[in-house]
Structure 1
Amino acid sequence: MSLGSFISSSRKIMRGDAGVDGDAQRIAQLVWLLFLKVYDAKEAEWEFHDEHFRSIIPERLRWRNWAVDHRDGEASTGDELLTFVNEDLFPTLQNLPIDSTTPLSKSVVKSVFEDSNQYMKDGILLRQLINLINEIDFDDFSDRHAFGEIYETLLKQLQSAGSSGEFYTPRAVTDFMIERLNPRLGEQVADFAAGTGGFLTSTLKHLDSQVENIADREAYRQSVFGIEKKPMPYLLGVTNLLLHDVEEPRFFHGNSLDRNVRDYREDEKFQVIAMNPPYGGTEQDSVKANFPASFRSSETADLFVALILYRLRKNGRAGIVLPDGFLFGDENAKTNLKQRLMEDLNLHTIIRLPGSVFAPYTSITTNLLFFENSGASKGVWFYRVDLPEGYKAFSKTKPMLSEHFDDCREWWDNRREIIDGDGNPKAKFFSAAEIAEGNYDLDLCGYPQEVHEVLSPEETIAEYKAKRAELDAKIDEQIARIEALLAVKS
């Protein structure tokens, strides 16, 4: 089954259902079904390796026992299927008995369904959708690969359903940041606003080549930690980790900002933190109270920067995506955070990104900040990633790709100042003293701004007339040539 046919067929089925309204609900409807399909495949693996394995899902509710249509006329459909899903499947999975001894591989089912919704009202269409999903054969390598592509496409579609800065981070960005942070097996990588798990799966991909034995594989599975506040990204993220063979995903549904930052113990800190926090949002005063007064901000992203300061281990490394507003903002919290990054941590590199990296879903211009908990910064290197030759902007059909970071990679390993053709610095080092003297304004090595001359009304009219006369002359010239050609032929 091709990627295109799966996506278009699932959309067509759900568009015919009166209960599903818009792309956000279509994605939410699809992903809980995909989760159960994926989970059932993982359980089959666990059963193969452990004859004593017992599912947390009651036998009648396991995907294999109700969702598979054997084409014998026995598969549930129509009102019978709707009643089963709405009155048995969902209530049971939302109330599964779990306690502190329940493995994460099992308790995750309840976590997923506590905030999932069943939107479809037509049981026949629901059966069609289930049958479509069942065409994905997890025992077939080619379909496994295809499902990975399908899932990646679904994650990208989540962008259009997001708001307040909540969107899928392009894979090129997550891969580049993890590559630069270079986590090693045995280190723990955390994302406190993990969304669909992009940074975590980029970490797993990075670590995969380091796995050489069974012990390494276990370290691989324990290497990522995530928290996500919103239910749909959380469901997508959990499924994403299961697909990457993380059998007990340490991926939790909750608000990372709900706890007082002063209460974190050393064993709750991480060697590596990578994240793209939501920005543009706000938190309640009760949440802001979890932070020192100097860091309290009305901007959610600022609070996540503060959180990292308290959860990054000594000599740990961090990379974070932040909007331009953080760089030039002079509000007390922003200035205090930037001062802390310079004086107590080692903010060493800021990569400026084109404004269209997240297009068309947001025009917010972003930056990648890299720092370490290794003492005061001596200064910050800035590097501006320019649009590739021939690009006016990145777009949905022409997204940012890994190779667009290649020049930055080369520069990273051989740092030097670069001045572009019109005299603007593309890469430059600014000392800690220079940044402090500028009151921690980090809006440096930015993109050249086009300057447009503003003409008076009289000058504008004169310029317009001149250009029109020039164009009329060119048109008259072409007409004269055509008439001359016609005269010759006649």
Structure 2
Amino acid sequence: MIVGTVRSQVDRIWDAFWAGGISNPMEVIEQMTYLLFIKRLDELHTVREKKANRLKREIEDPIFNSKQQKLRWSVFKQMGDAATMYDQVANKVFPFIKTLGDENSTYAGHMKDARFTIPTPALLAKVVDLMDAIPMEDRDTKGDLYEYMLSKIATAGHNGQFRTPRHIIQLMVEMMAPKPSDTICDPACGTAGFLVAAAEYLQKHHEQDIYANTKSAKRFNHDTFHGFDFDSTMLRVGSMNMLLHGVENPAIEKRDSLSQSHAGVEGQFSLILANPPFAGSLDYESTAKDLQQMVKTKKTELLFLALFLRLLKPGGRAAVIVPDGVLFGSSKAHKELRRMLVEDHKLDGIVSMPSGVFRPYAGVSTAILLFTKTNSGGTDQVWFYDMQADGYSLDDKRNLLDAGKHESNNLPDILKRWQKRGKESGRARTDQSFVVPKAEIAGNDYDLSINRYKQVVREAVQHDPPKKILAELKTLEAEIMRGMEELEGMLK
């Protein structure tokens, strides 16, 4: 979460766009992203420039050559005349960023239709000044800033989409602990938040492996990350987001995950990370036939679960967010999907999340579902965790709490207990985490809601004997009667 000062600066940029005639939130985000991208390119080039000067050698992989210096943010922002700067950005800088990356890359494909739509030099000059004033040296601040911008898309939830908080994404990635050998997919990638977090995890924990040689670097940049979405703007924003985070050519494709055949990508992925949109129901006719063969339903949340199983290779694992109804829904399709997860594959764990996690955009109750595709069962016991706090207030303000205290932030405990879940067998059902045997889950119609298994300890309350309570009531009644008689006397 970003501090109030930066938040208000972003709000001022947003207001400037609206006052300048751009009122579509997605268009505002897109144009802001282009400018952030241009600014970030200059920052990256400056870092390489300083390194080269320090080592007294040529710049390694320069973004701008000697003839392109005027395309840099630090140069054009100082142009005194707004009209000159506008011409530079619209006619030279913007065409330049469209040419970045390999001409056959997904980035190039998505940027082909990109348009610079800031209408006036005055608006561009104002936005550049406002954006330049925001301190973005810190990587986390930059990420939080971007998340706050993107959150404005989902003021009331768009097509069932809700921004996944970055700390929840990071928790899920750390629980899955991606490896350089993984092929990672988000079938509803949006702005690529999960893929970015997975890339950052690999860069932090496996940097030597992913950049060991040309082959491993190519695998990381071209073959590791896959994202699907049907929104062209989201694909552009997602591609830029990945490029800014050091992934040159992720396979981010335009694909309606639920309505297309999956013959080309079936069984291709070893890790799925996702929070797909749950928009309600789809027509049977518009849903992919291979998904309907797995589970006959119109509900998108169930269809996405079927899709995850379809896309994973045997041994592949998934951490996905589902609405609570998936865990206890009583329809035939709900029960069948839960049976499949428990009996045909390996259901590893469920983290129940408080309903405030997605505020202020939605108050839905959700859970993180963690499973492994085996096609041969393997569920022995299921690990449950009752998340009660995520480090932020659970109201619409979502203020940062004292993260050092367990009662205000369960996330470090969740990760620690997940990593040692094999030793959780002795924990009582009254604890925040515990395990439930498969046989018990099967006996409960495969109900996976934590409330079915968690035991609540109620404090014993000492009550006075009934005769004493009645005596006190009589005393109170007598006092009330005396008071009424006194009032009547005063009214005579």
TM exceeding 0.5? yes
Counterpart mapping for 1:56-455 below 5 A = 63-64=71-72, 68-73=76-81, 75-76=83-84, 102-104=103-105, 107-112=106-111, 114=113, 118=117, 120-133=118-131, 142=137, 147-160=142-155, 162-207=157-202, 208-212=204-208, 214-215=211-212, 218=217, 219-222=219-222, 223-262=224-263, 264=265, 266=267, 269-284=268-283, 285-374=285-374, 375-376=376-377, 377-387=379-389, 393-398=394-399, 403-412=409-418, 413=420, 414-416=423-425, 418-419=427-428, 426-445=432-451
TM-score, normalised to structure 1, is: 0.73
Distance change >3 Å, CA 254–CA 39, structure 1 → 2: farther
What is the deviation of 1:313?
A: 1.5
The alignment's C-alpha RMSD in Å is 4.3
Distance change >3 Å, CA 448–CA 232, structure 1 → 2: farther
> Counterparts of 2:370 and 2:313 in 1: how far apart (Å)?
15
What is the deviation of 1:426?
A: 4.3
Amino acid in the other structure paired with 2:244: L
Is the Cα contact below 8 Å between 2:42 and 2:74 reproduced in 1? Answer: no
Distance change >3 Å, CA 393–CA 6, structure 1 → 2: closer
> Counterparts of 1:20 and 1:72 in 2: how far apart (Å)?
24
Distance change >3 Å, CA 404–CA 394, structure 1 → 2: farther
What is the deviation of 1:93?
A: 9.5
Gaps of 5+ in 1: 452-465, 477-490
Greater shift, 63-72 or 313-322, is seen at: 63-72
> Counterparts of 1:157 and 1:67 in 2: how far apart (Å)?
30
What is the deviation of 1:394?
A: 4.8
Is the Cα contact below 8 Å between 2:154 and 2:161 reproduced in 1? Answer: yes
Q: Secondary structure at the match of 2:194?
A: helix
Is the Cα contact below 8 Å between 1:194 and 1:228 reproduced in 2? Answer: yes
> Counterparts of 1:144 and 1:430 in 2: how far apart (Å)?
40
> Counterparts of 2:385 and 2:73 in 1: how far apart (Å)?
55
Report the identity percentage: 25
What is the deviation of 1:326?
A: 0.6
Greater shift, 30-39 or 432-441, is seen at: 30-39
Is the Cα contact below 8 Å between 1:323 and 1:365 reproduced in 2? Answer: yes
Instruction: State the partner residue of 1:34.
Output: 36
TM-score, normalised to structure 2, is: 0.72
Is the Cα contact below 8 Å between 2:260 and 2:288 reproduced in 1? Answer: no
> Counterparts of 2:81 and 2:97 in 1: how far apart (Å)?
30
> Counterparts of 2:32 and 2:413 in 1: how far apart (Å)?
39
Distance change >3 Å, CA 382–CA 102, structure 1 → 2: same
Instruction: State the partner residue of 2:462.
Output: none
What is the deviation of 1:320?
A: 0.9
How many residue pairs align between the two structures? 431
What is the deviation of 1:66?
A: 13
Distance change >3 Å, CA 188–CA 371, structure 1 → 2: same
> Counterparts of 2:60 and 2:227 in 1: how far apart (Å)?
27
Distance change >3 Å, CA 331–CA 69, structure 1 → 2: same
> Counterparts of 1:40 and 1:282 in 2: how far apart (Å)?
45
Is the Cα contact below 8 Å between 2:38 and 2:97 reproduced in 1? Answer: no
> Counterparts of 1:65 and 1:322 in 2: how far apart (Å)?
42
